[in-house]
């Protein structure tokens, strides 16, 4: 038995510049290998490119001070030009020092990409990612945002007080049956300890595709324009260990304090259906990682 919706493939979204993808991959790689750096050949092998495609990219980044190249061993490292923007970014997203190591370890353990979303008002902003650099670049970019409105952003509201859940439901003016179903699925998420988002219902696919288009910085006014019938089907209401599931994301709250979730981990990249048993295993591992991260983020 398979849980989810057909067809499985989400409509294609616009692709960004491959050159930009390479720059991001290089910076991410050298961040992960901060102590040892990497040679041109090692960088090319790690991100699945030929050395020839990276020569000019590395030269430009080095010329601008974003990278340095040690003359003795010809290894590249992050450069001084990244220090100032890094300090500014760190003041805006203080949990990222702790989350960076946590998501890198979790991504390696699970074999899937892991996103870190931070709450930004009524939106969730992607603030960090970890994935195998030899695999395709994630479908969202750092800084991209999604609206926290039904059915999106459930991980940020499922553990909230009833009045905040009511405000979330009010944003789409859900009809009675749909509203009740969504509330039941939030309750199911609380029991599980995480939110399972299934492949989106067919009517919702174009809207989700528009909102998560690669490289798209969604403007504050952008929203899913209407209430969609069956939207509650985007959220799983239970996990049958004997069933197969077509998953969009597995999202886990980082619970630093009661009643409000400001940071969440999302496991993504489920290209094939997975069993309920495996889904529960992944959810348990991710839940424990989120709990360890929350402990590190507790003030004092």
pLDDT at site 9: 38
Q: What's the first-to-final CA gap in the chain, in angstroms?
A: 48
Greater confidence (89 vs 68) lies with: 68
| 43 lies in the same domain as 100 | no
What's the whole-model pTM score? 0.68
Greater confidence (6 vs 218) lies with: 218
| 116 lies in the same domain as 178 | yes
Greater confidence (51 vs 95) lies with: 51
Whether the predicted pLDDT of 216 surpasses 50: no
| 108 lies in the same domain as 127 | yes
| 141 lies in the same domain as 29 | no
Whether the predicted pLDDT of 189 surpasses 60: yes
pLDDT at site 145: 81
Enclosing domain of residue 52: 18-85
Helices (H), the chain: 18-32, 40-47, 51-63, 83-92, 96-110, 154-157, 162-170, 176-192, 205-211, 276-297
Is 119 a domain residue?
A: yes
Whole-angstrom CA distances from 212 to 126, 179, 285 are 11, 24, 26
The mean pLDDT of the chain is 81
**Structural domain total, the chain:** 2
Greater confidence (192 vs 257) lies with: 192
| 146 lies in the same domain as 214 | yes
pLDDT at site 103: 87
The phi and psi torsions of 112 (rounded to 5 degrees) equal: -125, 160
pLDDT at site 219: 44
pLDDT at site 28: 82
| 170 lies in the same domain as 220 | yes
């Amino acid at each position: 038995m398979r849980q989810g919706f057909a067809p499985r493939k989400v409509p294609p979204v616009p692709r960004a510049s491959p050159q930009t993808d390479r720059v991001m991959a290089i910076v991410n790689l050298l961040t992960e290998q901060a102590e040892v750096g990497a040679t041109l050949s090692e960088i090319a092998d790690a991100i699945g490119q030929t050395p020839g495609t990276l020569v000019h990219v590395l030269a430009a980044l080095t010329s601008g001070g974003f990278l340095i190249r040690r003359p003795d061993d010809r290894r590249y490292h992050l450069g001084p030009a990244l220090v100032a923007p890094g300090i500014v970014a760190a003041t805006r997203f203080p949990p990222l020092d702790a989350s960076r190591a946590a998501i890198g370890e979790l991504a390696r353990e699970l074999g899937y990409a892991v996103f870190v979303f931070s709450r930004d008002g009524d939106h969730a902003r992607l603030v960090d990612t970890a994935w195998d650099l030899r695999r395709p670049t994630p479908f969202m970019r750092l800084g991209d945002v999604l609206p926290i409105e039904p059915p999106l952003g459930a991980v940020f509201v499922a553990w909230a007080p009833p009045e905040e859940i009511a405000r979330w439901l009010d944003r789409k003016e859900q009809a009675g049956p749909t509203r009740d179903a969504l509330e039941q699925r939030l309750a199911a998420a609380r029991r599980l300890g995480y939110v399972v988002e299934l492949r989106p219902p067919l009517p919702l696919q174009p809207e989700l595709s528009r909102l998560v288009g690669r490289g798209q910085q969604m403007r504050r006014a952008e929203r899913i324009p209407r209430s969609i019938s069956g939207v509650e089907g985007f959220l799983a209401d239970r996990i049958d260990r004997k069933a197969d599931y077509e998953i969009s994301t597995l999202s886990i709250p980082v619970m630093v304090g009661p009643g409000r979730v400001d940071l969440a981990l999302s496991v993504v990249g489920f290209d094939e259906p997975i069993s309920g048993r495996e889904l529960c295993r992944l959810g348990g591992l991710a839940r424990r990682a989120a709990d360890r991260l929350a402990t590190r983020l507790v003030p004092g």
